[in-house]
């Protein structure tokens, strides 16, 4: 009985030992990661295209982003751009990155299923969200705003149709806020400290004859931007000459402010699914409009033209965004040519479609059909046959000259492109091309003269 009691006590002691041992060496050593510290360092500059995010290693170099773990119980195993990645960055952009955090030893430390924002200490960015996937924690971080100066407007141009109206094209990094100054003969006469538009009509201030210019710079949207942004330099317009006949009577000006002519949106606007362009007076622009360096055409109802449009008997093509096309365009698998500015001579107008007939384009001959479509293949013109390349390559539509092989038949096109027939002397050799088809003959006799396998007259075969 005593022996049995001793055995029970021994078994109990052994059990307690194993329980304590595994508790100390198993469960107690595996603990959650509670203090998560990371560093994200961005040296992106305006205009940079965000590349791969480097993990760990040295400090970030120019145009680079680096992510580092600031702890010993986890590492960053992957870093990629989150939603909203741009092809290039501008001033003030706050890009998101997703960091994949992986425990160094999951049997020792592990990530919890949920965290609150106070758990994270992020140097160089701010917390957005976190979620556990398997053993890893996916942490989304927002980088600090990209620092730099805003770009100056690309161009400042006077409107060719509305006297005194000036417009400009924003730079790549742009705040949509501008400071605009008006000068007469080099002296500043008016300034808009802030304008949230890309055009303005200064005509009410042109009350004296002189040479007028405008200077525009991109400025900060608000005081908050002072932490990371700077205003641009000025861009200046060309001179607009106002003579005594064209001076303004000053109407539309109250004190130092121009009275707005309309409560509707000035400039580009939408009417249903169609685009219109509204003048400061509220009237819709009709006819031609030169906006932002491109030509547009607005129908009598003010709607912007797209695709083909006949204007005063000439055909033009407008892209889907409305700007007038020039040069080669392909529409419904057919090629057309619209006159570029530098080729608008001899009565041609920039943008008009080339009409029927022969045309020299970039030093090569082409033929346009009555519809304006570029012709390909054989062409009968004024009793002579010509060939214009049918193959889809860089010479598509070009008039050929010289020997040409098509469908295993050889033809000869002279320097004017016309197909030759009958006896023809080429480089000192005589050839014969059939009268009807123009095909070169080989290995036969014509008019009692022999032609060899190359189609050349062999004079030695019939002379002694």
Tens digits of residue pLDDT in 7-54: 555 545 544 544 444 444 444 457 899 889 999 999 888 888 888 899
Query: CB of 431 within 8 A of CB of 438?
Result: no
Question: Any residues with CB less than 8 A from the CB of 246 and at least 6 apart, and which?
Answer: 163, 206, 209
Give the predicted TM-score (pTM) of the model. 0.44
CA distances to 214, 233, 301 from 171, rounded to whole Å, are 17, 11, 32
Query: CB of 65 within 8 A of CB of 43?
Result: yes
CATH code for the domain in which residue 235 is found: 2.60.40.10
Q: Which pLDDT belongs to residue 314?
A: 92
Q: Does a structural domain hold residue 439?
A: yes
My answer on whether 284 and 356 are in the same domain is: yes
Average pLDDT over residues 254-263: 44
My answer on whether 70 and 129 are in the same domain is: yes
Instruction: Give 222-230's long-range contacts (Cβ < 8 A, gap of 24+).
Output: 225/91, 225/92, 225/175, 227/145, 228/91, 228/92, 228/144, 228/145, 228/146, 228/147, 228/148, 229/91, 229/92, 229/145, 229/147, 229/148, 229/149, 229/150, 229/175, 230/148, 230/149, 230/150
My answer on whether 287 and 307 are in the same domain is: yes
Q: Does a structural domain hold residue 387?
A: no
Q: Does a structural domain hold residue 309?
A: yes
Tens digits of residue pLDDT in 70-124: 888 999 999 999 876 778 888 888 899 999 999 999 888 999 888 888 889 999 8
My answer on whether 319 and 367 are in the same domain is: yes
Q: Does a structural domain hold residue 420?
A: yes
Q: Does a structural domain hold residue 338?
A: yes
Residue at which a domain ends, from 112, 143, 174: 143
Average pLDDT over residues 49-70: 88
CA distances to 109, 187, 399, 419 from 390, rounded to whole Å, are 70, 62, 10, 16
CATH code for the domain in which residue 439 is found: 2.10.270.10
My answer on whether 128 and 231 are in the same domain is: no
My answer on whether 334 and 290 are in the same domain is: yes
Residue at which a domain ends, from 85, 118, 143: 143
Q: Does a structural domain hold residue 460?
A: no
Query: Percent of the chain scored above 70 by pLDDT?
Result: 89
Give the rounded distance of the alpha carbon of 182 from its chain centre.
Answer: 32
My answer on whether 202 and 271 are in the same domain is: no
Tens digits of residue pLDDT in 274-299: 899 988 777 889 999 988 788 999 99
My answer on whether 129 and 82 are in the same domain is: yes
By residue range, what is the domain housing residue 439?
Answer: 401-451
My answer on whether 366 and 405 are in the same domain is: no
Q: Does a structural domain hold residue 271?
A: yes
Does pLDDT of 265 surpass 90? no
Question: What does the DSSP assignment read for 331-363?
Answer: ETTEEEEE--GGG--TT--TTPBP-SEEEEETT
Q: Does a structural domain hold residue 306?
A: yes
How many domains does one find in the chain? 4
Q: Which pLDDT belongs to residue 463?
A: 61
My answer on whether 44 and 99 are in the same domain is: yes
My answer on whether 139 and 183 are in the same domain is: no
My answer on whether 129 and 161 are in the same domain is: no
Residue at which a domain ends, from 122, 143, 164: 143
Taking all residues of the chain, what is their mean pLDDT, rounded to a whole number? 85
């Amino acid at each position: 009985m005593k022996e049995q009691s001793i055995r029970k006590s021994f078994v109990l002691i052994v059990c307690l030992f194993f329980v304590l041992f595994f508790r100390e060496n198993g469960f107690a050593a595996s603990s959650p990661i509670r203090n998560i510290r990371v560093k994200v360092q961005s040296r992106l500059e305006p205009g940079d295209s965000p590349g791969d995010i480097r993990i760990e290693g040295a400090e970030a170099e120019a145009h680079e982003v680096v992510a580092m773990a600031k702890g010993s119980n986890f590492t960053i195993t992957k870093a990629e751009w989150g939603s909203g990645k741009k092809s290039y960055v501008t001033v003030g952009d706050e890009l998101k990155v997703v960091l994949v955090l992986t425990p160094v030893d999951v049997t020792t430390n592990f990530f919890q299923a949920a965290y609150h924002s106070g758990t994270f200490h992020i140097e160089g960015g701010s917390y957005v969200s976190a979620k556990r996937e398997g053993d890893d924690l996916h942490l989304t971080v927002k980088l600090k705003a990209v620092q730099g100066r805003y770009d100056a407007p690309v161009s400042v141009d006077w409107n060719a149709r509305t006297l005194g109206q000036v417009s400009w094209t924003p730079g790549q990094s742009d705040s949509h806020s501008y400071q605009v100054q008006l000068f007469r003969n080099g002296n500043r006469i008016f300034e808009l400290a802030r304008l949230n538009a890309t055009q303005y009509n200064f005509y009410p201030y042109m009350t004296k004859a002189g040479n007028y210019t405008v200077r525009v710079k991109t400025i900060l949207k608000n005081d908050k931007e002072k932490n990371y942004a700077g205003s641009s330099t000025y861009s200046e317009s060309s001179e607009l000459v106002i003579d005594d006949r064209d001076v303004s009577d000053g109407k539309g000006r109250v004190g130092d402010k121009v009275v707005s002519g309309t409560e509707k949106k000035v400039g580009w606007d939408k009417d249903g699914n169609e685009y219109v362009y509204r003048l400061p007076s509220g009237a819709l622009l009709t006819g031609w409009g030169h906006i932002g360096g491109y030509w547009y055409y607005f129908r009598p109802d003010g709607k912007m033209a797209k695709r083909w449009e006949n204007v005063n008997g000439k055909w033009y093509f407008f892209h889907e965004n409305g700007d007038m096309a020039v040069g080669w365009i392909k529409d419904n698998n057919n090629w057309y040519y619209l006159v570029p500015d530098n080729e608008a001579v001899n009565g041609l107008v920039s943008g008009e479609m080339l009409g029927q007939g022969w045309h020299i384009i970039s030093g090569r001959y082409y033929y346009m059909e009555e519809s304006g479509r570029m012709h390909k293949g054989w062409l009968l013109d004024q009793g002579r046959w010509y060939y214009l390349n049918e193959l889809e390559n860089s010479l598509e539509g070009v008039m050929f000259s010289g020997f040409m092989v098509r469908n295993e038949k050889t033809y000869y096109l002279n320097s004017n492109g016309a197909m030759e027939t009958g006896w023809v002397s080429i480089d000192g050799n005589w050839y014969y091309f059939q009268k009807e088809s123009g095909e070169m003959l080989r290995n036969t006799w014509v008019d009692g003269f022999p032609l060899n396998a190359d189609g050349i007259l062999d004079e030695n075969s019939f002379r002694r």
